[in-house]
Structure 1
Amino acid sequence: MKIMVMDGDGIGPEIVPAGKRCLEAVSEAFQLGLTFEEDQIGLAGIEKYGHACPDEVVERIRAADGAIFGPHDNVSYPPEHQTYANPSGIIRRSLNLYANMRPSKTRPNVPAHVPEMDLVIARENMEGFYADRNMYAGGGEFMANPDLAQSVRNISRARSTDIARAACEFAMQRRKKITIIHKANVMKLTDGLWREACLAVAADYPEIEVEEVILDAFAAHIVRRPADFDVVICSNMYGDIFSDLASELAGGLGLGGSVNASDTDCIAQCAHGSAPDIAGQNIANPTAMIISCAMMLTWLAAKHEKPEFNEAAIALEGALGAQLAEGRTRDLGGDMDCDAFAGAVAERI
């Protein structure tokens, strides 16, 4: 199987090769037959193609079996390259990557802000308040006059159903519980439709326990009782916010793994950003990227019915957990650099 690799901006050229190194190790150990091809996005994409995420790269990802997608620092792009959607928005919309799955869990010997947590934020990825991907033509933000800015929020039954079903399928492989986040007591039409669609899907899974939590109350509950949650279903912006909070509670954004997936495509992409303040110093934590790569293996196992890919994902997660328990990067109180940490995980595999 072919995996496309794109470093991206900031710490991307450090953490993406770390993830690739771990995939190479499990591919050899479990005879997965992974091959890798590289291309450029972000500032390197602008230099090579004249665009931060050109059609050529999108089509190469589409033709591959999976991809490792580095972070982007679009605020640093030249002004003419800030007029279109950022690389994440482009790739998610182009490939219909409607499901953004973001796990957060506490791990032995890893400093955390809560004693126990193991949850997944299932974030709808295609609409909501995100102005770069919720309109067919034109932007989702506009100004009626110099003193009034407005934004359109899209909530559709189809997109809500898609993420709810993906979340339920994920929950069936875990503790069989979902939590639906909404503000339907105030946003009666948009969050009301979201709630209705999610509950309709959940009714198809009688084994799953269903909980509803109002948006602002969840901000308190995830801190007070994080161990009670399994798969948490959120619309786009809510999921973006709560997944960062969950990662921080578990130990930091350096642990924030993530995949963006559809029924046909999957990319491993960290939940965190490009961290330009530490770029080029080899001190970034590659854990989130390694987790993302393991999640992509699980997705490939399900799509292609290849149990060896699932075994490889479990082995990669196990090697990562064992390494975190004994040695970590600086953000987690250790003294290892990015390369050394990735090498140690690969060696354990």
Structure 2
Amino acid sequence: MTRNALHLVVLPGDGIGPEITAATVAVLETASDRFGLGLRLEHELAGHASLARHGTTLRPELLDKVLAADGLVLGPMATADYADGSRGGINPSMFFRKKLDLFANIRPARTYPGVRHPAVEPFDLVVVRENTEGFYADRNMEAGNAEMLVTPDVCISLRRITRSCCARIARAAFRLAAARRGKVHAVHKANVLRLGDGMFLEECRKVAADFPGVTLDEYIVDAMTAHLVRAPGKFDVIVTTNMFGDILSDLTAELSGSIGLGGSINAGERHAMAQAAHGSAPDIAGQDRANPFSLILSAAQLLEWQAERLGSPAFAEASRAIEGAVAEAVAAGEATPDVGGRLGTAATGQALVARLRAAR
């Protein structure tokens, strides 16, 4: 691979996935031409389309293809439909997060001029969520499942917290904050979960010592929800464990005006996956109504991650150009109706491509 070359596997997904993925691919191809990235996009199937053709939502050989690539763009998946693994129902999102050790789910949220939002003030923050353990029963065990039905009326769910996972997610948050406004906010429930969340806070404090230019403060999770509603503009980088991060990142996305504006990347040491923050929305699939910006912004994050991995400014420049073009498009009404625009999915993607081509 040359320094300015990137091989991405693209999986369109279910529901609205193919529509928003098509718009995202057009934007990536335009960015590649505009900034000389040399992108090579390899299109594959996962989800219902794969189940219909191959009898499984995710073929085993697909993992080898993704491992050999530089990154993955994953469209929304109908994960609730994939409950029976014995019938080929593998959750691709969970599968790749676990197999690629994508421990950091990074979800920016910001307000955009021209978009109505319920927040009391403009804000620009990032939720950094631990992605591999916690209460998530489908990924915190080497074998088996961490949720057990002891009797028909008794269920036990196990939560796994490890020092190594706490330390690496804390370090990811501090590195990000050092490049932003220099503030990390650790969210926890250590007043009740004294051992697990106590360990998480200990590791955050240890990492903080390596970043003297970044401040650390701590919030109990229920108090944090109130603070986000009351004064979201005071926050920079929020770091937390898996389930709390899942909930808070949806809250901050909605505060920005629409979860359709929420980009999301799942990153590890050697691999990364762009993934829209929302689901497959089967109720509007095929109607040219879906907002493609979440997956487009996720793809921009993937380019930024690649810029850091390769030390290549071209990828960072392309990422910033995509994010800027999205902001300009939203302000101009070149977007879907959910964010105040007047266009359909395909036309929104085409308008963004035009803006990206004209970017200076």
C-alpha distance in structure 2 between counterparts of 1:202 and 1:54, whole Å: 42
User: Which one of the candidate residues 153, 164, 169 is aligned to 1:158?
Assistant: 164
TM-score under structure 2 length normalisation: 0.94
Instruction: Answer whether contact 1:278 1:284 (CA < 8 A) is retained.
Output: yes
* Per-residue Cα deviation, 1:129-181 (whole angstroms, up to 9, x for no partner): 00000011110100111110110001100111111111111111111110000
**Which ranges of structure 1 fall in alignment gaps of 5 or more residues?**
none
- 2:339 counterpart letter in structure 1: L
Distance 1:209 1:53 in 2: 43
Counterpart contact for 1:12–1:71, Cα < 8 Å? yes
TM-score computed with the length of structure 1 as normaliser: 0.97
CA deviation map 1:312-343 (0-9, x unaligned): 11111111111010012011122210110111
- Report Cα offsets for 1:192-213 as digits up to 9, x if no partner: 1111111111111010011100
Aligned to 2:51: 46
- Does structure 1 residue 182 correspond to structure 2 residue 177? no
Partner of 1:258: 264
- 1:347 is matched with which residue: 346, 351, 354? 354
The number of equivalent residue pairs is 349
- Mapping 1:172-211, distance limit 5 Å: 172-211=178-217
Match of 1:62 among 61, 67, 71: 67
Offset of 1:32 from its aligned partner? 0.6
CA deviations on 1:232-288 (whole Å, 9 max, x unpaired) are 001011000000000000011111110001011111101111111111111100010
* Larger mean Cα displacement after TM superposition, 117-126 or 65-74: 65-74
Query: Which of these residues, 254, 260, 264, is aligned with residue 248 of structure 1?
Result: 254
| Cα separation, 2, equivalents of 1:77 and 1:13 | 18
Do 1:40 and 1:48's aligned partners in 2 also have CA atoms closer than 8 Å? no
SS at match of 1:179: strand
Superposed counterparts of 1:1-349, under 5 Å = 1-77=6-82, 79=84, 86-114=91-119, 115-327=121-333, 328-349=335-356
1:315/1:50 CA distance change after superposition, 3 Å:
same
Write the letter of the residue equivalent to 1:56. Answer: E
The alignment's C-alpha RMSD in Å is 1.3
What percentage of residue pairs aligned between the two structures are identical? 46
Letter of the 1:112 partner, please give it.
H
Native 8 Å contact 2:56 2:87 kept in 1:
no
Mark the CA change 1:82 to 1:184 in structure 2 (over 3 Å): closer, same or farther. Answer: farther
Which letter does structure 2 place at the counterpart of 1:334?
G
| Structure 2 segments unaligned to the other structure (5+ residues) | 1-5
Q: Is the 8 A contact 1:43 1:77 kept in 2?
A: no
